[in-house]
Structure 1
Amino acid sequence: MLRTQFEEDLLNLHNQFYEMGMLVSKAIHNSVQAYVKHDRRLAEEVIAQDEMINQLEVRLEKKSFEMIALQQPVTTDLRRIITVMKASSDLERMGDHAVSIAKSTIRVKGENRIPEIEKEMNDMSDYVKKMVDNVLIAYVKTDKDDAKLIAKMDDQVNEWYSNIYYQTIEAMKNDSELIVMGTEYINIAQYLERIGDYVTNICEWIVYLATGKISELNSNRDEFF
């Protein structure tokens, strides 16, 4: 009886984590869409939705601690609970970065824009969203091989960040009126780059879940500064 209840609790934990992940994925996509389309209403929606993401993380953490204290799980079961706790914390931070992008939309009004850089940002956010969606599937399947492949995708995100950073600096040098907008571009690209890092963290937790070993999957993180 106790074991059945524990397995049900574990399943609920997984389902809530996946639900939280889908909310974060949507928030990332919508925050960048709001920015490039000047959509203040969508930006405010992203900010409002963040409360639900935060509540889910608190609920997951509370339930995880409860299950550890009451059931005293060992080996694989304990790894599952630890993975949910750690990975949901990474998801919550990703949601925070989506909120920061949404706040940029509200802050920047009527500034000069650079369509080529916004196109790059849009492509970068689509790619990051794909990483988030893929890592959620790898988590559900406990697929360590997929997790390793997804972690490698972060190299492309770093490359995008580097391109946007240098293009923006060049544009600001040539036109001082682009300094306010250019600073926002660099910030948004950095938020997306950080989200890529958090996806890599989750990939590492998936490998831990599958093998019991902590692995460093992307040694190139934070190599720019």
Structure 2
Amino acid sequence: MRQYFDDELADLDTSFKEMGLLVSETLDEAVQAFLDHDRVVAQEIIDRDKAINQREIAIEKKSFEMIALYQPVTTDLREIMTVLKAVSVLERIGDNARNIAISTIHVKGNKRVAEIEETIGNTGTVVAKMVSQVLDYYVNDDAVAAESISEVASGVSETTRHIRELAIEASKADPEQVTAATDYLVVAGYLKRTSDYVTDIAEWIIYKRTGKIVELNPGTSSFI
């Protein structure tokens, strides 16, 4: 019975990791599509959201079945609960990628600001890497590294706040940039929330490893 449980738990971990990698790649592509004004790729990302949602449902179903069948306790139960909690967060990150793609669809020849777009692109790369890293921390059961990701999230918070300031300045300097500035604020907000979601996953990794509930994102950021 124990071997069956271990095998199914390994399958669950693999499914979680695969979903996380898909979400990370989708987020990276969504930011690039926004910067490239690529509506074709943006639409592909929007369509892909259904597949991400289906993966979440399948993982949740598998988790509940394992709890019912094996009635795990202590460490085993914490591991399954971590997947249950973290997979819903991954789905929300996927929603953010979809929403960035929707913003790309809505952009229609607005006057752009190169400095802001470069900053958004760099931030998107950082946030997508955060998603990939936190998955590695999960697989390696690395609570120490998971806790350190809050520092990266803090950096993202500062950068998105700077994007907000640049967008406001651009709007004041040139009324024709107001629409583009609004798009930048929206996309930066999605990236900021995504970095917050990654810290949520990190918190569950720490719970999985130690059984302790910690707060890595106390809500001190003021931007969106």
Structure 1: distance between partners of 2:204 and 2:78: 9
Q: Under a length normalisation based on structure 2, what TM-score does the superposition of the two structures give?
A: 0.97
Deviation at 1:35, TM superposition (A): 0.6
Aligned match of 1:34: 33
May I ask how many residue pairs the two structures share in their alignment?
Answer: 224
Q: Provide Cα deviations, 1:3-33, integer angstroms capped at 9, x if missing partner.
A: 2211111111100000000000011100010
Deviation at 1:91, TM superposition (A): 0.3
CA RMSD of aligned residues (A): 1.1
Identity %: 49
For 1:149, the aligned partner's letter is: S
Task: Map 1:38-57 onto structure 2 (within 5 A).
Answer: 38-57=37-56
Deviation at 1:165, TM superposition (A): 0.3
Q: Give unpaired runs (5+ residues) of structure 1.
A: none
Q: Secondary structure at the match of 1:153?
A: helix
Deviation at 1:39, TM superposition (A): 1.1
For 1:176, the aligned partner's letter is: P
Q: Under a length normalisation based on structure 1, what TM-score does the superposition of the two structures give?
A: 0.97
Structure 1: distance between partners of 2:223 and 2:44: 32
Deviation at 1:217, TM superposition (A): 1.5
Structure 2: distance between partners of 1:168 and 1:217: 28
Q: Provide Cα deviations, 1:156-209, integer angstroms capped at 9, x if missing partner.
A: 000111000011011111211111111110000000000000000000001001
Instruction: Tell me, yes or no, if the aligned pair for 1:17 and 1:88 is still in contact at 8 Å.
Output: yes
Instruction: Tell me, yes or no, if the aligned pair for 2:30 and 2:97 is still in contact at 8 Å.
Output: yes
Instruction: Tell me, yes or no, if the aligned pair for 1:131 and 1:150 is still in contact at 8 Å.
Output: yes
Deviation at 1:223, TM superposition (A): 3.1
Aligned match of 2:129: 130
Instruction: Tell me, yes or no, if the aligned pair for 1:197 and 1:221 is still in contact at 8 Å.
Output: no
Q: Give unpaired runs (5+ residues) of structure 2.
A: none
For 2:124, the aligned partner's letter is: S
Structure 1: distance between partners of 2:10 and 2:107: 43
Aligned match of 1:78: 77
For 1:34, the aligned partner's letter is: A
Aligned match of 1:173: 172
Q: Measured at CA, do residues 223 and 83 of structure 1 come closer, stay the same or move farther in structure 2, by a change above 3 Å? A: same
Q: Provide Cα deviations, 1:110-157, integer angstroms capped at 9, x if missing partner.
A: 110001000000010011111111101000001001101112210100
